[in-house]
Amino acid sequence: MSAIKSTMMPTPLSLNRLLEHAGRLFPQSEIVSRLPDKSLRRHSYGDWYGRTRALASALKKLGLRKGDRVATLCWNHHAHLECYFGIPAAGGVMHTLNLRLAPDDIGWIAHHAKDRFLVIDDILLPLYEKFAAHHRFERLIVFPFSGAAVSVRAGEPHEGEPAIDDYEQLLAQAPADFDYAEHDEDDPVAMCYTSGTTGRPKGVVYSHRSTVLHSLIAALPDYVALSSRDTVLPVTPMFHANSWGIPYAASMVGAKLVFPGPHLHPDDLLDLMQLEPPTAALGVPTIWLALIQAFEANPGRWKLPTGLRTMVGGAAVPESLIRKFAKHGVSVDQGWGMTETSPLASLFFEKPELVGKLSEDQWFARKALAGVPVPLVETRIMGDDGLCEWNGRDVGELQVRGPFITGSYHDEAPSPSNFTDDGWLRTGDVAAIDEHGYIRIADRTKDLIKSGGEWISSVDLENAIMAHPAVAEAAVIAVAHPKWTERPLACVVRKPGASIDAGELRDFLSGRFASWQLPDAIEFIDEIPRTSTGKFWKVKLRQRYADWRWPE
């Protein structure tokens, strides 16, 4: 047999191609950004394309070298999108800093990543001052988000202080002749640190190849289903796993983008939805829990956009939330992913073999699962006794691998607690997969409640508690117990004006769980602490109840 070779061009996958495609084919698509004063600023894709290339050109002129890290400390807006494409176009690596972290942690992360420049919203300069001592950036590029003039110090910076540039001036003065930095498809484009919910933050570095493949897959009809006819509202911060990669995928297809800026209060989001109705939106469950409560508490004040589809993930999505939005014609599609997985690794869609076969209750129960793996991502469940069947019952650690799953952490020796010997990422999530391929996340390993040799899923309990009409939010934690090792304690926030006591709540749950699975203590609290990415922060709750004494 004679050997045969592929005749295809070995063109490397490149983020620059997505930018060129969007700029050339969709110059009239729109990008709308909400400014600090709540007014809206509009750009066309044509403007964005020109400004992004100008940013890249300006960065090169400032001496950015290939592989240099340029950090961003920004809300969601057009200039942040310019950084998404412009920094890699110049050969740099965009490093999104999470503005909700404690200042010391932001400084630690910037230092660990060796960030050279920082693009920062002017309104976040006070935050910068709080971590400036931890890391010296060479240069601050201040985006005049609030419209106020940036005070740029004349001449050379003082000893030990960064130079300061005005973002808009840099773009205006950028050399017009610009060539993309050369690159291989495996060269880095962006990095993001895990938010450290369960440990020290770890750096994940995305490549041209991983980002392009992730964008193509996210946009597929069964997953986020993005098209040039869409209006996409990314509520997920652009520093949270690159807003789940959606700004890349949405601009690739020429969709209109609506960025909420710093205004994430439910009233503000609902107001924005009236002005610029989205067809697709994304955010963590706590955003949508707050939004639907505000919506239902103010009948007639707002309309939810007809046919809106929301992609919700990052934490378990209560079935009750999915049902509430469905009543208003809004679809809530649950996805699962991690910073390490670019992040979209699974998302709900109704597989053809199930269409027309599910009762309403079965359909909602299925929507409360974490969806079906996306193409190119392999998933497996590793139990104590080896690989688990996909039967929906056998539970073990969810492990994944694929071309947009991280194979290591930045500047960290690989550890068997993160990666298996045969090259899979250990997610630390406990899950089962059913015969149709739907993933059910039972818990994070660290959040499971170990009671008398049995496991109790905190996620199942939370979802059931949040289905009670008087409950706004609930988080269940394990508390050490002298006899049973651990027992569940439920922290519950009542809806404003609602009354419910522990006995009523226990009665409500008793039909759904075996009695040994029910929480032994139910504490009513004012609010559940949130992590920097808006998830329930169980570490804080565990600290609060560390000295809890069970009755003898």
According to the binding rule CB under 6 A, does residue 399 interact with ligand ADP? no
Size of the site for ligand ADP (CB under 6 A): 24
Task: Give the C-alpha distances (Å, rounded to integers) separating 231 from 48, 156, 487, 525.
Answer: 16, 44, 46, 38
Q: Are strands 256-259 and 231-234 parallel, antiparallel or unpaired?
A: parallel
Six-digit token string for 228: 């040039």
Q: Which of 340, 397, 462, 473 is catalytic?
A: 340
Stretch that binds ligand ADP, among 221-229, 329-337, 378-386, 536-544 (CB under 6 A): 329-337
Q: Scanning residues 171 to 210, which ones bind ligand ADP (CB under 6 A)?
A: 194-198
Six-digit token string for 280: 């697709």
Stretch that binds ligand ADP, among 4-12, 176-184, 225-233, 312-320 (CB under 6 A): 312-320
Residue choice 313, 318, 396, 488 for contact with ligand ADP (CB under 6 A) = 313
Q: What's the chain's length in residues?
A: 552
The answer to whether residue 194 is catalytic is: yes
SS3 of 218, please?
helix
CB of 338 to ligand ADP, least distance (A): 4
The answer to whether residue 445 is catalytic is: no
User: Given the complex with ligand ADP, which of 310 and 533 has the nearer CB atom?
Assistant: 533
According to the binding rule CB under 6 A, does residue 438 interact with ligand ADP? no
Residue 57 C-alpha from the chain's centroid: 29
The answer to whether residue 450 is catalytic is: yes
The answer to whether residue 324 is catalytic is: no
Residue in 262, 265, 233 with CA at minimum distance from that of residue 37: 262
User: Given the complex with ligand ADP, which of 195 and 211 has the nearer CB atom?
Assistant: 195
Contact string 355-384 vs ligand ADP (x = CB under 6 A)? ---------------x--------------
According to the binding rule CB under 6 A, does residue 139 interact with ligand ADP? no
CB of 204 to ligand ADP, least distance (A): 9
According to the binding rule CB under 6 A, does residue 339 interact with ligand ADP? yes
According to the binding rule CB under 6 A, does residue 390 interact with ligand ADP? no
Strand order across the beta sheet in which 280-283 lies:
40-44, 30-34, 256-259, 231-234, 280-283, 309-313, 331-337, 344-347, 372-373
Residue choice 132, 224, 316, 471 for contact with ligand ADP (CB under 6 A) = 316
- CA-angle at 34, arms to 204 and 124, nearest 5°: 55
User: Given the complex with ligand ADP, which of 50 and 196 has the nearer CB atom?
Assistant: 196
User: What is the enclosing helix (H) or strand (E) of 58?
Assistant: helix 45-61
Residue in 33, 20, 104, 25 with CA at minimum distance from that of residue 74: 33
Q: What is the DSSP string of 372-435?
A: EEPTT-EEEEEETTEEPPSSSS--EEEEEESTTS-SS-TTS---TTTB-TTS-EEEEEEEEE-T
Q: Which of 61, 450, 495, 540 is catalytic?
A: 450
Stretch that binds ligand ADP, among 31-39, 244-252, 310-318, 468-476 (CB under 6 A): 310-318
CB of 215 to ligand ADP, least distance (A): 18
Q: Side chain identity at 355, as an amino acid letter? A: V
According to the binding rule CB under 6 A, does residue 533 interact with ligand ADP? yes
CA-CA-CA-CA dihedral for 281, 283, 289, 295, to nearest 10: -30
Binding site for ligand ADP (CB under 6 A): 194-198, 241, 313-317, 334, 336-339, 370, 427-429, 441, 444, 533, 535
Any idea which residues carry the catalytic annotation?
A: 194, 340, 450, 455
